[in-house]
Amino acid sequence: MNKVKLDEIDHQILDMLIDNTRTPFTDIAKKLLISAGTVHVRVKKMEESGIIKGSSLTLDYVKLGYSFIAYVGIFLEKTHQTKFVLERLSQIPYVTVAHITTGKFNIFCKIRARDTTHAKNIIFKIDDIDGISRTETMISLEESINDKRRLMHTIFNEL
């Protein structure tokens, strides 16, 4: 896998887009003293190389009534059931992230729910999936760090 080379202009463009993916290319161009066409070409190049994969929208889940977050560690009866279990987990919309892991759990996932009763129902659905022997749940009291920019700047400094 080839590492893609980025220069300081690319870093600055990414920095602005991470802050707000809806920032117009013309605004980025003005701040960087380059043309909007240059921004467009560079973003297109980063999309084609796979560095930029789409864009995302950040929602305030609390305002939408989904303030409860829990992490569920899943133990499988047999590891060959991993793909089957992941397919079933993907059918539960409240399972927002799932990782195949080493260590204590075979799969580790994040769920988002309205409240504890809703979370309990989601966890029971997970428990009912064939191939799962048991689960362990950890409730998130607060998301304290969620900072993509810090990681991005560290990566840029290492390049």
- pLDDT, average across residues 126-142: 97
Segment (H or E) for 131: none
pLDDT at 137: 97
**pLDDT, tens digit (0-9, with 9 covering 90-100), for 77-131:** 999 999 999 999 999 999 999 999 999 999 999 999 999 999 999 999 999 999 9
Q: State what percent of residues in the chain have pLDDT above 70.
A: 99
pLDDT for residue 36 = 95
pLDDT at 3: 73
| Bigger pLDDT: 154 vs 66 | 66
Report in angstroms the alpha-carbon separations of 46 from 14, 21, 40, 114, 131: 9, 14, 10, 37, 40
Q: In what order do the strands lie in the sheet with 68-76?
A: 95-100, 107-113, 68-76, 132-139
Answer positive or negative: Cα dihedral of 87, 89, 94, 98.
Answer: negative
* E strand intervals along 23-77: 68-76
Q: What is the chain's length?
A: 159
Q: What is the pTM of this model?
A: 0.81
> Quick one: pLDDT band at residue 2, thresholds 50, 70, 90?
low
